[in-house]
Amino acid sequence: MFKDKLQVYEKLWSEAVSAFEHGEQQVDPALSDKPNDLRRGVTVVLRPSPPVRDKVKHFLDRLATVCPEQYFYRPEELHVTVLSIISATEFWRKEIRQLVSYRAIIGDILSRQHSFKICFRGVTASPGTVMIQGFPMGDGLAHIRNELREAFARNGFGSTLDRRYKVSTAHITAMRFRKPDKNWKRLVSLLEENRRTDFGESEVNSLQLIWGDWYASGNIVRTLQEYRLSDVANRPSNLEH
């Protein structure tokens, strides 16, 4: 299982380095006017453990010295996407009307799931991002994703999922390009230095259903519900929604 995911990350890395060499970094145009970005969506996410988060922050602090003008995720914003339920677009209000049905499906499925572990080791990149590589230990995460997809399909909502791409890895997006970066060689050098850095393991005991923007910004995200992973029933939040 590790080998399959490593191949995905290696392919991403190769494509990213080639893009950097040819001046084809993918700058995110929305970041130049982020306060006016109206894209919103609903996602099931997991959060890395505090020790993992701290090690990622240390890496990002170093990365910021090399390319300070780029967009870096804050520690509390770091996450792994388990499944995108409503893809972040400007038209999210049309689909949010189905949220009660979606939550019933999610709650039913996650009430029967168990905790699992993820090992975060090494960094990779795409033409537009820098990512921390995540490797699920066992098939717990894959099982949860499959169960959710099958349940949504059974209830007639299968076409709403995976609209951007079918998520299969457990990476953490840590940086996005806000501007073209001429110091790409320094960037690649630092990333290569950390291609096998051990960021630690996370025991995933809960998942969150969040509403937020494209970047899961801390000042925008609302946690709609938290689901404990074990034999215990879901624990709803106290938020009104």
Parent domain of 209: 2-31+38-232
Q: Which of 121, 125, 180, 134 is nearest to 15 (CA)?
A: 125
Would 86 be classed as within a structural domain?
yes
Would 241 be classed as within a structural domain?
no
Segment 129-181, tens digit of pLDDT: 999 999 999 999 999 999 999 999 999 886 667 555 567 899 999 999 999 98
Would 14 be classed as within a structural domain?
yes
Would 45 be classed as within a structural domain?
yes
- pTM of this structure: 0.91
**Inter-CA distances, 157 with 44, 119, 148, 151, 230, Å:** 16, 32, 11, 8, 26
Would 82 be classed as within a structural domain?
yes
- Is the CB of residue 82 less than 8 Å from the CB of residue 168? no
Would 181 be classed as within a structural domain?
yes
Per the model's pLDDT, the better-predicted residue between 44 and 88 turns out to be: 44
Q: What is the tally of structural domains in the chain? A: 1
Segment 184-206, tens digit of pLDDT: 999 999 999 999 999 999 999 99
Would 237 be classed as within a structural domain?
no
By three-state DSSP, how is residue 26 classified?
coil
Would 220 be classed as within a structural domain?
yes
- Is the CB of residue 137 less than 8 Å from the CB of residue 118? yes
CATH number at 43 reads 3.90.1140.10
